[in-house]
A and B are shown apart, each in its own frame.
Chain A
């Protein structure tokens, strides 16, 4: 009977073809098929949104580009350890996406060159190289094409690291990207404390942080990475725990069909207390400083 109800629900779902708002409540069903738990880590990778996605979302919320939030330019030749390279590659990848989304050509070009140089240090020059730069140069006035090229390139980097069993490096790439993304978001929020939408993006990181820690703590790193990056990242949990989640609509199975698109429930809000944002910014700034002073 339950199956019939679900089936009817989805007949309704797929027969909807108007712009009017319709609410379809789906029957709750237990998932009877045994869950294959053998791909936990692979799964965690995908629970952490890409820097491109996060920076696009940030720009949509209206803050201006702030060059001061970019990671300082450093001498790349002095970096020899692959784990350090991967971490920095993640950081600069986020900056590259940030500059590109805001159409800052000078910064985009500089960052792209740095990313290519770093990629060479961990044998990724077959994935990102001068040819990539040429393709981007040819599309410098076409933001959408640039985004697709960069998105594809980072897809290839991720695939290449995993195919070569460099899972620790892939995890650090994601970690570095997330650290710099949160630094930019919280920095923008400190600059414009009235922008509630950016606050929400930062609060959303409460979910992402949990996944990141699961991923980052699954591999063995050198003591510098452990002491100055992983440990303080784990400690960030105390700060995210301070953010309360309030359910505005507890009906998690609600689907609304509106403007030819499905919206999956439910509505929740995050309650920031005074000072929470500044605390997050301060903590993530400290980790970022560690990259500069202890890792590089």
Chain B
């Protein structure tokens, strides 16, 4: 029973993310520049104010770039990188900075978060309506230097 619930939940999640699959390759790949994709592309569909978060492993000795991209309708994404203790390493503060180049002192997992900005509609009613209507794909893509 537990297994069935897990699988059912997973299927729902993967289907929800399915419509944005391929978004990274079309829209984000160029942001990697000279870095080769690790194949680790994390994509989701977000509404204003929602957050997509994932964890990835980074090896000591490798040089990495994490690049993000999103549908224009969502505006500039708030992009943060934290360590496994949830301590902040990087924050773009919702500015246009959409990539971060780094290496790690020792192999570790990092938590990458993408937060869609809240809608700036003037009235509460408009904001609620817009929030219902607007959604878009967001992706984070990881590359390493050859």
Contacts and interface: CB of A to CB of B under 8 A. Distances in A.
A201 B60 CA distance: 9
A253 B91 CA distance: 13
A163 B25 contact: no
A197 B61 CA distance: 10
B59 A39 contact: no
B11 A255 contact: no
B86 A39 contact: no
Point out which of B80, B97, B104, B105 has the most chain A C-beta atoms below 10 A from its C-beta.
Answer: B105
Contacts of A262: 90, 100-103
A201 B106 CA distance: 10
A220 B5 CA distance: 12
Size category, B interface:
35 or more
Nearest to B62: A57
Given A10-B91, A35-B53, A155-B25, A53 B105 contact: no
Contacts, number: 177
B83 A46 contact: no
A208 B57 contact: yes
A147 interface: yes
Interface of A: 6-7, 10, 13-14, 26-31, 33-36, 38-39, 41-43, 45-50, 52-54, 56-57, 60-61, 144, 147-148, 151-152, 154-155, 158-159, 162-163, 165, 167, 197, 200-201, 204, 207-208, 211, 218-220, 249, 252-256, 261-269
14 contacts: A10-B90, A30-B86, A38-B9, A42-B17, A42-B54, A56-B144, A151-B39, A207-B108, A261-B101, A261-B102, A264-B81, A264-B105, A264-B108, A266-B105
